[in-house]
Amino acid sequence: DTEVTQTPKHLVMGMTNKKSLKCEQHMGHRAMYWYKQKAKKPPELMFVYSYEKLSINESVPSRFSPECPNSSLLNLHLHALQPEDSALYLCASSQWRGQGNTEAFFGQGTRLTVV
Amino acid sequence: ILNVEQSPQSLHVQEGDSTNFTCSFPSSNFYALHWYRWETAKSPEALFVMTLNGDEKKKGRISATLNTKEGYSYLYIKGSQPEDSATYLCAFMLDSWGKLQFGSGTQVVVTP
């Protein structure tokens, strides 16, 4: 199984809502990532988890709250988002070899619209 | 934020023709250079991870070369087919944590 599964595929939420994005992989990868992609722009890294611990937060606003409950799951909790947060959110995972030079496996993304 | 640039932004190719495009990246503090293919409504899919200067990698009709001293990589598609239509992204690995800085991509459209 070389899949990274993201749910939901589409999400529309109001600025006062709380929602969560979910990501799951069963490849035994110990590094997991959240990326954000705005239209016609490249994906931008938000968070890196390694061995279920947050390793990197790319100065992401606190209205985005990541969580890694176990080695297969990665969540992104959303609260009080702004319309400019509307984007495609991609989850990825990779093996952890310390050198960081292994390929990333991506999910299909969650298309988020904040109204 | 380091500059990773891809050119051209888009390419229209006739079926059967070969094509190539470029990714340029910082030539210092090199960890790895990734290439991904991203078809519409699908996940980005890794094509190559390149780590050594002079690396050449091949997967079917697609190949890539790497020059870390001058900071560029070429991706080649030989005998393009309609199924090669996709956006091709290169990504510069910034550190050992696996942080990727993506280029904006080259959109390839292969017409029969």
String of b and e for A9-35 (b: at least 16 CB within 10 Å)? eebebeeeeebebbbbbeeebebbbbb
Average pLDDT value for chain A: 93
Between B36, B49, B89, which is nearest A102 by CB? B49
User: In the predicted model, what is the mean pLDDT of residues B4-9?
Assistant: 96
Tell me what percent of the residues of chain A surpass a pLDDT of 70: 93
Q: Do A41 and B104 touch (CB under 8 A)?
A: yes
Q: Which residue intervals of A51-93 are DSSP H helices?
A: none
Q: What is the pLDDT of residues A6-60, one digit of tens each?
A: 999 999 999 999 999 999 999 999 999 999 999 989 999 999 999 999 999 999 9
Q: Of B36, B40, B48, B50, nearest to B89 (Cα)?
A: B36
Judging by DSSP bridges, how do beta strands A10-13 and A110-114 pair with one another? parallel
Q: Do B103 and A42 touch (CB under 8 A)?
A: yes
38-77 of A, contacting B, C-beta below 8 A = 40-45, 48, 50, 55-56
Q: Indicate whether A100 pLDDT > 60.
A: no
What is the Cβ-side half-sphere exposure of residue B20, based on CA atoms within 13 angstroms?
A: 11
Between A45, A103, A108, which is nearest B46 by CB? A103
How far apart are the C-alpha atoms of B8 and B6, rounded to whole Å? 6
Closest residue of chain B to A2, computed from CA coordinates: B45
* pLDDT the model gives residue A97: 62
Radius of gyration of chain A (CA): 13
Q: Which amino acid is at A35?
A: Y
Q: Indicate whether B41 pLDDT > 70.
A: yes
Q: What is the pLDDT of residues B51-85, one digit of tens each?
A: 989 999 999 999 999 999 999 999 999 999 999 99
* pLDDT the model gives residue B14: 98
To the nearest whole Å, the CA of A2 is away from the closest chain B CA by 11
Cis peptide before B26 (omega within 30 of 0): no
pLDDT confidence of A98, banded at 50, 70, 90? low
* pLDDT the model gives residue B96: 75
Among all chains, which residue has been given the structure tokens 């001293």? B69
pLDDT confidence of B31, banded at 50, 70, 90? confident
Question: A12-16, A23-27, B16-20, B92-96: which range is least confident on average?
Answer: B92-96
Q: Indicate whether B18 pLDDT > 60.
A: yes
* pLDDT the model gives residue B28: 82
